[in-house]
Amino acid sequence: MQMIDVAISLALVYMMMAGLVSGLQEMLASALQWRGLYLKRGIESILQGAAAGSAQGPGLADVIYEHPSIKALSDTRRKRLPAYIAASTFAVALADELVRITDTKQKLFRGLPDAIERLPESALKRQLGVLVDRAEGSPQALQAAIEAHFNEVMDRVSGWYKRRAQLAGFALALLVSMLMNVDSIAIAGYLKRNPAESQRIVEQWAIPALAQGTPAAAGAGVGAAAASGVDAAVVAEQIRAVVKARNEVRELQLPMGWNWQVDDQARTTAIDFTGFHWTTPIGWVITALAALLGAPFWFDLISRLLPLRGSGKPPAVVQPAVQSGSGSAPV
């Protein structure tokens, strides 16, 4: 049972670290407008190749972002881009702006074929021309084709965002592991040498956490609300969640953290652990990689390991909803 307790204790550390990193990454993504910037990058890729003109090329994206239906999604007071635009909203804004720019008499998708014909030769004109041909004169079919094209591009944008989020998440997790000195190798060794400590962590932390159904202290329930990153209350909630997760990690009283006092006794005490070994950086990397798996993963693993202890699973376990976390897509 000792090895099971060690595994559960490590999983609990990783679950808390994942929650902490997730909360920090959500705050970073919100502050830097990653979702909004990647969304605009995707829209610019749809419009790229247009011939130079008063409202074409990269400038066409800016014009579309000024359309009332899209501008309403932005926080103009804080100059923040929208984090999400529906395909139907983009299609209507594109059709409306092209019809307006080219002075076409008919409106929206009925006038869009004529508006496209009046555009200078460009990749955008050819792409839209293909969609017009597929629609076969039906305004509804043309709108659906533009929306489908938008969604295809946004799928690629989601891939771009996820790759960046994964890289940023690992860098952030590694930084947090270093600053808090969360060395997986040292923690595992300490727990193996002190079976009473691993049992204490399981009974005082793992079982109650599973019974409460809380996969992580940070990042739970704030991801969707933080997508726009404009609400001060959401930011305050994120900060409180991050601080709570950090405190919970410290309260485990495992060999983590730094103590700069030169004290040999401190090197053998869990709370005042100051030792540094050549394996320490490897332990940081292991912790960072484990945190990337997400709090729900470790929550589920704990729920599977606890019954193996012979003490049974705690009653009324609440299964948490898996959030999009650090790799959530912008669209």
Mean pLDDT, rounded, for 154-180: 92
Tell me: pLDDT of 229 over 60.
no
Kindly indicate the confidence band of residue 77, based on its pLDDT and cuts at 50, 70 and 90: confident
Between 77 and 18, name the one with better pLDDT: 18
CA distance 210 to 21: 20
CA distance 43 to 21: 30
Residue with tokens 């109650």: 208
Kindly indicate the confidence band of residue 275, based on its pLDDT and cuts at 50, 70 and 90: low
Tell me: pLDDT of 100 over 80.
yes
Highest-scoring range by mean pLDDT, 184-188, 203-207, 256-260:
184-188
Kindly indicate the confidence band of residue 243, based on its pLDDT and cuts at 50, 70 and 90: low
Q: C-alpha distances in angstroms, 90 versus 101, 212, 303?
A: 16, 42, 44
Which residues are paired to 80 by β-bridges? 75
Tell me: pLDDT of 126 over 70.
yes
Kindly indicate the confidence band of residue 122, based on its pLDDT and cuts at 50, 70 and 90: confident
Tell me: pLDDT of 170 over 50.
yes
Mean pLDDT, rounded, for 116-143: 89
Predicted local distance difference test score (pLDDT) of residue 261: 53
Average the pLDDT over each of 36-45, 61-70, 98-107, 307-316 and give the range with the smallest value. 307-316
CA distance 135 to 293: 44
- Taking a C-beta distance cutoff of 8 angstroms, is the pair 6, 188 a contact? yes
Kindly indicate the confidence band of residue 240, based on its pLDDT and cuts at 50, 70 and 90: low
pTM, to two decimals: 0.71
Between 262 and 126, name the one with better pLDDT: 126
